[in-house]
Each structure stands twice: as structure tokens, then as C-alpha cells.
């Protein structure tokens, strides 16, 4: 600290020579503005204009971004640099830019780690608040928490304007990393080839005995039918094209009638293109693309699905990017609600869908009518597909690909910058106060991070329900693989040397451009299968090449370092808690395991024969009954204040629904469920949860029965959680016309094109014997014995997978009246005797409430 004598000298100088002091302030401000600018003054010209930094805007207390003289935005800078810039600006220009870090939430962790920002200085603290200081000798209770979220999100590298030496450094990094990352990629490819050899030999052995190994696939009959239907449709399309017609009914351009039908306008053999609009047109929909500017200047793509027979696209200027500021649109603004040109009662409720790691929005659109995005759009929702920063075409308002500042971001920036920008644009285009959010894998990660109380929890108020598919909050067993262990041994400096300071292995994107589509997809599948231990067992193999056209995309090396490096997710095994905090929670859970295990054993017997439909009805009924009282956890342990004290989220968190893959080695969704079940998140309202045993990480979006297992439930969960005022102006989605407690009419579901009216998955027998499943001690499915349909049994329907335990059966809904009585007028005595709530080991005399949901047929005990 400066001495009082020195401080006095400075004050005397200011009084004696104010002009000199003002000139020094201007010089200091100019130097700071240049350090944080896009270009140095000597590099600017008439085309660039002035790119000097003029102010730091705090998007969150942890995320100041630079605003340049020409109105552009530059990515996040360190808080200390932002505070210095604004303080100098205020001194020179007399402005009121934030000259100190804004106050934000502080989240304590069970292991003593404090996540979040420091509080305002004591001079700005309210009366009665505890004094805080940054003096090194201050007591811990008075010390200011560090203004970062370490150790979960270590600081990002900081780069200034380009110089000759920095340009040389960047090119050196790019050349070295291109060679080293090529060797890394070749090692992965070699490993994938070696691992595939036993499978190739096994299939060759089966073929040598004149058998078809494909018949061992659980959905072989359905795959065969769909392949035949696609072939017939392609042939019919080519025949029509030969006659000169553009669509099956011969309509073109503006002559397309607005009758709401779904008529394909593309067809023929699949050319394997990276174009959501093309695949939408193959199923009678279409797509338009919007540019969205994030608050730190990135330009990301937002795709809107629509039916060309009931919607007219806005003019081209309506697709351009707006201001980087979010949630500022008002009804009087031009273009407000332009994407909802429907009268009240016929509007479509908006849905935003976010993709997973190394993927893009096309992952939701690559399985024809079984694509979740197309299914929801045809059901009557207004579907929007969000892409994160960079994607297939990295763009920024100021920065170029070669600038390392364009790549200095990780999962936090994707959550607190990209997600709000996309939500804001969808709400502005549709005119609704909220939307439904569907995320898969990394999409759930960025949302869980963004909604944390110390990050940007306010965006939760714009979400009516958060549907998390394969939620990625805890690491799965795959993190223990040798190649991931090696990655954790690499220091940040070596990681940057191997993978660079720009995009992560850009050679993959180059291969995407130059290699033939089928070969690229074949290679992509086997590489990702080797890395992430998933298979195509439940996918339609005839569409697999299309699936892997959407991955990988451009992501930053810093983002992959967050996932795989020695400091962050791979080490902590959690996105919002340290490894030490996780161990303390595990120890605490041991107290509950026995009582909960016994309870679920009772419930399993009591709910024998309960269908998935009945569980969904119960979940949503419980949600509506508890809208004003949020106690929805199994043990209600949050009445013990020590559990809620360390919660990640506050009361701004939206209603949550989860679909967890039971055989997912990549992430541990069951542990996340356990966090909610044990009362550690008292503000989180669970609408619905489901563990689908046998499902792997991508099966929730690509499995052939994903619409049956996931899609239909997502569709209903969204509608049942829409605010009544929004429901009044919207059309009711297909499948949701009847009251919740009535059975939907399955014959009126969204039809599959080219199927001749055949119901989805109709070739799979619901009465066939279930396959036997071998499981290890952790509940993982390790192998299935599936009956093989021989050549003489071509008409016999092959059995379903283990998840078919949730199939609906005739007459099962005769129990709905009983269910309504249970949740409308209390629990009947007989049911109470079958499964009486256990007593909490922490609170004697307090009985645990009835759980609002279970999936006892899919998994009897969610302890994992």
C-alpha cells in the first residue's frame, strides 16, 4: 500500500498543478484504452475506424466486456483491467461507468470454497452489514472472496491488440499444434481401428455361417421397413422430378396453399449436406436462419423451423443481427413477434433446443420424422434451434479467425453469453414472455452453469420448463479411461502447445470439407464410439451417415481444456462443485442409503405394472399441486438447513424435467438425480424424471424408439407447464388435446411420411418376451440377450429392448381413477400399507413424504 506521506504528496501536486494532473489522467486512460483495444492507433485506418476501448460493461460481476469507440464489443477481460479502464474514464470524462466490480451472489461450498464475486467496498455496504476487507491479515470472516470462480473455472488467457511478435507467436503455436494434434488424432484413429477388429471378426464369423449379424439388432424389423419406405420414396421423387414437378402436388413458390399440411419439397437420395433446411424440406417443413449477436460480439446462428404451408418468412433484413443487449425488446419495436403471424388461439408456443459437445443444431434434425425437432414442430410447437459460438462458421463482429481473443472462452461464456442471446432473440421474434428450453449433454451443462446463483440466474425467469436430456453435471466412469487420465496429466502450457490457442484440432473441420460424406461419417462414428463408448445399437443405421455430418464443429481449445484438462471438469468430476465437496456429500448420503433403499423396495412392489404414461400423469399432477410449495424431493432433507445452505440455485431456477440414460458412461445423470432427491436444491421444482435403462448418451435423441421413450413425454411436459395465459393464445399441440388424466389417442399422433399410415415403431412387438439384461453393481447394462429372428420367422416381430418395460398395455389406464383419488384426495389406506414413507435418520419423528415420481420398472433404486 502507498504510504500516507506519498498520498499527501500526490494530493499536493493535484492542488498545485491540476492541468498537469489532468493530462496525466488522459495519458493513463489512453494507454489503458490501447491495451484493451482491437488495434493499436497506428494499425487503424478509414476502414477500421477507431477501435480503442472506451468502457468496460459488466454483463455479470465476473464478465466485463470491452465496448470500443465504434460501438463494437470485444470478449471478456479480467475484472481488474475493466475496473481500471472505467475508473480512468470517469476521471477524464466525468462519466459514471462502474469503477468497481458490481456486487454479485456468493455461493459457499461444503468444502469451504467460495464461488462468486466480492462484495462492494465497506463504504458502499448497507448499514448493519459485516465489514469486509482485502487486507492479507484480515480474519477469514471479513476477507473478500476472490473475484473468480476458481477452481472450477480458472482464468482465461489474456491477449492484447496484434503486434508483430504476437503474430509470430500465434503462427508458431498454430504450426506446432497442427503437427502434434495430428499425431494425437492419428493415435485416436488407430485406437478406434484396433478396437473394431474383434467386432469385424465376429461379424465375419456370423456371415460365414450364412447368417445376417444385423438380425441381432433389437430394431432390425423396424430398420428394414424404414429402409424400404425410404427407397420407395426416393424412387418416387426421382420419377416426379423427371416429370418436371417440384413437389408431390406440383406447387411452386408463392402458389403453395396455406392449408397446414406437411408436403415434402425435397427428396431423392440423401446427398449428405450440412443444411437443416434441406432435411426439414424432406419432411414437409422448412427452415430460416437468423444471425444473433452475443453481448461479447460473437455472431451465432439461430434456426427457425416452420411449415411453409402456414407461415410466410419475414423480409431478409428481419434475419440480421440486432443489438448485443438482451431482453430489451418491446411490443412497439419493429419486427416484434414477427415470427408469430397467427391470431390468438392459433399461435405456437416457442421451444429453444441446444445441442451437445462438438455438435450443432442439426443433431436434432437427422432422423427424418423421428427427429425430435421435426416431431415437436409437427406437433404444433414453434421450434428454434440454437448454435453456440463458432460452430461451422466462426464469426465475430470485430475479430478474425486468426486472432487468439476469438478463442479465449469456455463453457461459462457459452452459458452466460450465448444462451441469453438466443433466448432473448426467440422471445423477441415470438412475442412470448417465456419459452421452453430443451438441451442435450453440453447444452444442459451450459444451462446448469448459467443458472447458478453466482452466474446469471435471472435467465431462469424466461424459461417455462427446462428439459434436460442426458444431463451432464457429473462425470461418468469414462473419465477413468487411460487416454483421459493422460490428458489430466498435461499442464495448461503443454495443452496449449499440443492443441493450440485457437480452434481445437481444426484439421477435423478440414477433413469434413474434403473427404466424401459417407467415409467421413463412417470414420467419425468409429472415432467417437471409441472415445465415448457408445454404439449405434438403437439407431437407424441407414441414417447414421447423416448423423455424423453435424459433428465435429469449431470449438475453442480453451473449452476442451475445461472439459479434459487437469484443473477443471476432469479433475473435479462436477461442473459446480469441487471434488472435495463431492466426497463430503457422498459421506453424508451414506446415512440415507439404507432407509431409501428399503423405501424403494416397497415402492417397487407397490407399483408393479405401473406404466410410463401413468407415471407422467402423476408427476405433472404433483407439479401443479406444489406450484406454491416447492417441497418435491424424496427425503425432504432440505428441512435440515445445512443441505439447502450449499445449494447451487436460487428461486429463479425454472421447473426441471430430466431424462437420464441408464447405460451412459460419459456422464453420471443418476448422481444428479440423487442431488435433487436428497434435498440439496430446495428451490428446484422437478416436473418429471426418468431413467431409461439400456440407453447410451446419444440414444435420447437418436434411438429409433426415442420418440416413444422421450419425445412424447417432452411434448406433454412442455404443454402442461405453460402458463395459462400463454396457453390461451396458443393452439393445443397434437397429443395434448385431452385432459392430463385421460389417455391420448395414439391414432392421431404426428404421422410418419412415406409409411402408408403405419404407426411409429409398429413393427416391434409389445407382447414379446423382454430381453434378459446383465447389470453390474453400478446398475450399468453390460449386455443384452436378444432373441434372433431366423429367416423362417420374417413375419415375427423382434422383441424390444429392456426399455420396453415402459410400453403401454391395453386396459392399463383403468387405474387412472384410482390415481386421481390418490393425488386429488389423499393416499388410500391400502397404498399406505404397501409403502409407508420412511422416517428421516436426521430428523426423528419427521416422515418423508410420498415421492412425486419414480421409475421403478426402469430402475428400482436411483441411488446409482
Max avg pLDDT among 117-121, 240-244, 374-378, 854-858 = 374-378
Give residue-wise pLDDT tens across range 38-54: 999 999 988 888 999 99
Which runs of consecutive H residues, i.e. helices, occur in 436-578?
A: 442-450, 482-489, 492-499, 507-514, 517-532, 544-547, 557-564, 569-572
| Helix axes of 79-93 and 18-35: crossing angle, nearest 10 degrees | 140
Give the range among 455-469, 700-714, 827-841 with minimum mean pLDDT. Answer: 827-841
Residue 115 clears pLDDT 90, i.e. is over it: no
- Angle at the Cα of 363 from the Cα atoms of 462 and 482, rounded to 5 degrees: 105
- Walk me through the domains of the chain, giving residue ranges and CATH numbers: 19-104 (no CATH), 173-482+495-554 (3.40.50.1820)
pLDDT of 756 reads 66
pLDDT of 852 reads 33
C-alpha distances (whole Å) from 655 to each of 630, 649, 674, 721, 728 are: 10, 12, 17, 8, 20
All residues at 6 or more sequence positions from 502 whose CB lies less than 8 Å from its CB, including other chains: 170, 173, 174, 401, 402, 404, 406, 407, 556, 557
Residue 779 clears pLDDT 80, i.e. is over it: no
Give mean pLDDT, residues 345-371.
95
- Identify the sign of the CA torsion 806, 811, 813, 819: negative
Residue 277 clears pLDDT 50, i.e. is over it: yes
Pick the more confident residue, 242 or 734: 734
Give the range among 232-241, 324-333, 426-435, 622-631 with minimum mean pLDDT. Answer: 622-631
Give residue-wise pLDDT tens across range 299-332: 999 999 999 998 888 888 889 998 899 998 887 6
Instruction: In whole angstroms, give the CA distance from residue 603 to residue 848.
Output: 13
C-alpha cell read off for 822: 390418490
- Angle at the Cα of 438 from the Cα atoms of 435 and 439, rounded to 5 degrees: 135
pLDDT of 377 reads 96
Share of the chain above pLDDT 70, in %: 74
Of 807, 837, 792, residue with least CA distance to 746: 807
Give the range among 19-33, 181-195, 383-397, 537-551 with minimum mean pLDDT. Answer: 19-33
Give the pLDDT band (50/70/90) at residue 150: low
Pick the more confident residue, 498 or 810: 498
pLDDT of 123 reads 35
Give the pLDDT band (50/70/90) at residue 289: very high
Residue 474 clears pLDDT 70, i.e. is over it: yes
667 with 473: CB under 8 angstroms? yes
Residue 724 clears pLDDT 90, i.e. is over it: yes
Residue 130 clears pLDDT 50, i.e. is over it: no
Pick the more confident residue, 466 or 602: 466
Average pLDDT, the chain: 79
pLDDT of 242 reads 74
Q: What residue ranges in 366-434 does DSSP mark as E strands?
A: 382-386
Q: What residue ranges in 662-704 does DSSP mark as E strands?
A: 686-692
Give the pLDDT band (50/70/90) at residue 21: low
Give mean pLDDT, residues 502-509.
92
Pick the more confident residue, 98 or 856: 98
Which runs of consecutive H residues, i.e. helices, occur in 565-650?
A: 569-572, 579-606, 612-625, 641-644
Residue 668 clears pLDDT 50, i.e. is over it: yes
Of 511, 434, 403, residue with least CA distance to 722: 434
Residue 498 clears pLDDT 80, i.e. is over it: yes
DSSP helix/strand/coil, 124: helix
* Lateral strand order in the sheet of 53-60: 53-60, 63-68, 73-76
Share of the chain above pLDDT 90, in %: 49
Give mean pLDDT, residues 711-716.
95
130 with 141: CB under 8 angstroms? yes
Buried-exposed string 425-434: b where 16+ CB fall within 10 A, e elsewhere: bbbbbbbbeb
Q: Phi, psi (5° rounding) for residue 162?
A: -65, 140
| Eight-state DSSP code of residue 477 | G
* Lateral strand order in the sheet of 686-692: 286-293, 299-306, 382-386, 350-354, 435-440, 463-469, 656-661, 686-692
Pick the more confident residue, 611 or 366: 366
Pick the more confident residue, 353 or 329: 353
Instruction: In whole angstroms, give the CA distance from residue 337 to residue 325.
Output: 18
Residue 593 clears pLDDT 90, i.e. is over it: no
pTM over 0.85, yes/no: no
pLDDT of 831 reads 41
Give the range among 166-175, 384-393, 434-443, 726-735 with minimum mean pLDDT. Answer: 166-175
Give the H or E element holding residue 22.
Answer: helix 18-35
- Identify the sign of the CA torsion 692, 695, 696, 701: negative
pLDDT of 597 reads 67
Of 245, 242, 290, residue with least CA distance to 264: 245
Max avg pLDDT among 136-140, 623-627, 756-760 = 756-760
Give the pLDDT band (50/70/90) at residue 18: low
DSSP helix/strand/coil, 136: coil
C-alpha torsion angle, residues 212, 270, 219, 549 (rounded to 10): 100
Give the pLDDT band (50/70/90) at residue 600: low
Instruction: In whole angstroms, give the CA distance from residue 78 to residue 156.
Output: 9
Instruction: In whole angstroms, give the CA distance from residue 240 to residue 234.
Output: 10
Give mean pLDDT, residues 475-487.
88
DSSP helix/strand/coil, 495: helix
Give residue-wise pLDDT tens across range 53-103: 999 999 999 899 999 998 999 999 998 999 999 999 988 887 776 667 787
Give mean pLDDT, residues 586-603.
71
Pick the more confident residue, 428 or 820: 428
pLDDT of 13 reads 53
| Helix axes of 669-677 and 579-606: crossing angle, nearest 10 degrees | 80
848 with 636: CB under 8 angstroms? yes
Pick the more confident residue, 38 or 837: 38
Q: What is the DSSP string of 743-783?
A: PP-GGGSPPPTTTTTPPTTTTS-SSSPPPEEEE-TT--EEE
C-alpha distances (whole Å) from 224 to each of 217, 245, 490 are: 11, 29, 47
Instruction: In whole angstroms, give the CA distance from residue 669 to residue 862.
Output: 10
Residue carrying C-alpha cell 428461486: 651
- Identify the sign of the CA torsion 473, 477, 479, 485: positive
pLDDT of 9 reads 54
Give the pLDDT band (50/70/90) at residue 775: very low
Residue 851 clears pLDDT 60, i.e. is over it: no
C-alpha distances (whole Å) from 618 to each of 782, 818, 829 are: 31, 11, 18
pLDDT of 66 reads 95
pLDDT of 408 reads 94
Give the pLDDT band (50/70/90) at residue 687: very high
Give the H or E element holding residue 26.
Answer: helix 18-35
Pick the more confident residue, 835 or 428: 428
Amino acid at each position: 500500500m502507498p504510504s500516507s506521506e506519498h498520498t499527501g504528496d500526490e494530493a499536493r501536486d493535484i492542488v498545485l498543478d491540476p492541468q498537469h494532473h489532468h493530462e496525466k489522467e488522459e495519458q493513463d486512460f489512453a494507454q489503458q484504452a490501447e491495451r484493451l483495444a482491437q488495434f493499436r492507433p497506428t494499425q487503424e485506418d478509414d476502414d477500421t475506424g477507431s477501435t480503442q476501448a472506451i468502457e468496460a460493461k459488466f454483463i455479470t460481476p465476473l464478465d466485463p466486456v470491452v465496448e470500443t469507440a465504434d460501438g463494437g464489443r470485444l470478449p471478456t477481460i479480467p475484472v481488474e483491467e475493466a475496473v481500471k479502464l472505467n475508473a480512468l474514464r470517469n476521471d477524464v470524462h466525468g462519466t459514471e461507468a462502474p469503477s468497481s466490480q458490481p456486487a454479485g451472489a456468493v455461493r459457499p461450498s461444503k468444502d469451504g470454497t467460495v464461488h462468486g464475486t466480492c462484495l462492494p467496498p465497506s463504504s458502499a455496504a448497507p448499514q448493519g452489514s459485516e465489514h469486509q476487507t482485502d487486507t492479507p491479515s484480515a480474519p477469514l470472516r471479513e476477507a473478500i472472496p476472490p473475484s473468480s470462480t476458481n477452481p472450477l473455472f480458472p482464468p482465461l488467457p489474456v491477449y492484447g491488440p496484434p503486434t508483430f511478435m504476437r503474430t509470430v507467436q500465434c503462427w508458431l503455436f498454430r504450426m506446432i499444434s497442427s503437427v502434434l494434434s495430428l499425431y494425437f488424432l492419428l493415435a485416436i484413429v488407430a485406437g478406434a481401428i484396433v478396437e473394431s477388429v474383434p467386432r469385424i471378426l465376429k461379424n465375419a464369423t456370423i456371415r460365414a455361417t450364412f447368417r445376417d449379424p444385423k438380425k441381432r439388432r433389437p430394431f432390425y424389423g423396424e430398420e428394414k421397413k424404414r429402409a424400404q419406405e425410404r427407397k420407395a420414396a426416393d424412387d418416387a421423387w426421382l420419377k416426379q422430378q423427371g416429370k418436371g414437378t417440384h413437389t408431390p402436388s406440383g406447387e411452386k413458390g408463392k402458389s403453395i396453399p396455406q392449408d397446414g399440411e406437411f408436403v415434402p419439397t425435397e427428396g431423392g437420395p440423401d446427398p449428405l449436406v450440412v443444411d437443416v433446411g434441406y432435411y426439414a424440406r424432406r419432411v414437409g417443413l422448412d427452415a430460416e436462419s437468423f444471425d444473433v449477436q452475443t453481448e461479447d460480439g460473437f455472431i451465432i446462428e439461430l434456426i427457425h423451423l416452420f411449415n411453409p404451408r402456414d407461415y410466410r418468412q419475414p423480409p431478409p433484413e428481419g434475419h440480421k443481427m440486432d443489438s448485443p443487449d438482451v431482453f430489451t425488446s418491446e411490443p412497439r419495436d419493429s419486427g416484434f413477434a414477427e415470427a408469430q403471424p397467427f391470431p390468438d388461439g392459433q399461435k405456437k408456443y416457442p421451444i429453444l433446443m441446444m445441442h451437445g459437445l462438438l455438435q450443432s443444431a442439426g443433431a436434432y434434425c437427422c432422423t427424418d420424422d423421428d427427429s425430435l425437432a421435426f416431431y415437436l414442430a409437427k406437433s404444433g410447437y414453434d421450434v428454434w434451434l440454437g448454435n453456440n459460438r463458432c460452430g461451422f462458421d466462426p464469426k465475430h463482429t470485430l475479430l478474425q479467425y486468426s486472432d487468439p481473443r476469438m478463442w479465449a472462452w469456455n463453457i461459462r461464456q457459452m452459458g452466460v453469453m450465448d444462451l441469453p442471446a438466443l433466448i432473448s432473440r426467440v422471445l423477441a421474434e415470438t412475442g412470448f414472455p417465456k419459452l421452453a428450453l430443451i438441451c442435450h449433454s453440453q447444452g444442459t451443462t451450459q444451462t446448469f452453469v448459467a443458472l447458478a446463483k453466482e452466474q446469471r440466474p435471472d435467465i431462469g425467469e424466461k424459461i417455462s420448463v427446462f428439459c434436460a436430456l442426458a444431463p451432464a453435471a457429473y462425470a461418468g466412469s469414462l473419465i477413468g479411461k487411460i487416454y483421459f487420465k493422460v490428458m489430466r496429466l498435461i499442464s495448461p502450457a503443454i495443452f496449449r502447445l499440443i492443441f493450440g490457442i485457437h480452434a481445437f484440432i481444426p484439421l477435423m473441420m478440414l477433413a469434413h470439407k474434403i473427404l466424401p460424406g459417407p467415409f467421413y461419417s463412417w470414420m467419425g462414428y468409429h472415432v467417437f464410439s471409441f472415445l465415448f463408448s457408445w454404439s449405434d445399437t438403437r439407431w437407424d443405421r441407414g441414417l447414421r451417415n447423416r448423423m455424423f455430418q453435424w459433428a465435429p464443429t469449431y470449438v475453442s481449445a480453451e473449452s476442451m481444456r475445461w472439459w479434459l484438462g487437469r484443473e477443471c471438469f476432469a479433475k473435479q468430476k462436477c461442473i459446480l462443485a469441487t471434488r472435495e465437496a463431492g466426497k463430503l456429500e457422498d459421506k453424508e448420503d451414506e446415512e440415507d442409503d439404507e432407509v431409501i433403499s428399503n423405501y424403494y423396495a416397497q415402492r417397487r412392489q407397490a407399483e408393479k405394472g405401473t406404466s410410463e404414461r401413468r407415471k407422467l400423469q402423476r408427476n405433472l399432477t404433483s407439479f401443479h399441486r406444489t406450484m406454491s410449495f416447492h417441497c418435491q424431493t424424496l427425503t425432504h432433507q432440505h428441512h435440515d438447513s445445512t443441505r439447502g445452505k450449499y445449494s447451487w440455485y436460487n428461486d429463479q431456477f425454472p421447473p426441471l424435467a430430466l431424462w437420464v440414460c441408464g447405460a451412459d458412461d460419459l456422464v453420471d445423470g443418476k448422481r444428479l438425480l440423487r442431488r435433487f432427491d436428497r434435498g440439496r436444491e430446495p428451490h428446484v421444482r422437478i416436473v418429471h424424471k426418468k431413467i431409461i435403462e439400456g440407453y447410451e448418451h446419444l440414444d435420447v435423441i437418436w434411438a429409433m424408439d426415442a420418440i416413444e421413450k422421450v419425445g412424447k413425454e417432452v411434448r406433454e411436459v412442455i404443454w402442461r407447464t405453460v402458463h395459462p395465459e400463454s396457453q390461451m393464445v396458443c393452439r393445443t399441440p397434437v397429443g395434448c388435446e385431452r385432459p392430463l388424466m385421460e389417455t391420448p389417442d395414439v391414432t392421431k399422433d404426428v404421422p410418419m411420411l412415406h409409411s402408408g399410415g403405419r404407426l411409429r415403431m409398429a413393427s416391434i412387438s409389445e407382447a414379446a418376451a423382454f430381453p434378459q439384461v446383465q447389470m453390474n453393481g453400478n446398475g450399468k447394462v453390460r449386455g443384452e440377450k436378444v432373441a434372433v429372428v431366423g429367416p423362417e420367422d420374417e413375419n415375427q416381430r423382434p422383441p424390444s429392448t429392456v426399455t420396453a418395460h415402459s410400453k403401454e398395455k391395453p386396459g392399463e389406464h383403468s387405474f387412472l381413477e384410482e390415481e386421481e383419488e390418490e393425488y386429488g384426495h389423499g393416499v388410500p389406506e391400502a397404498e399406505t400399507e404397501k409403502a409407508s414413507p420412511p422416517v428421516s435418520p436426521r430428523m426423528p419423528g419427521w416422515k418423508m413424504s410420498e415421492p412425486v415420481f419414480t421409475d421403478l420398472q426402469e430402475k428400482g433404486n436411483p441411488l446409482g
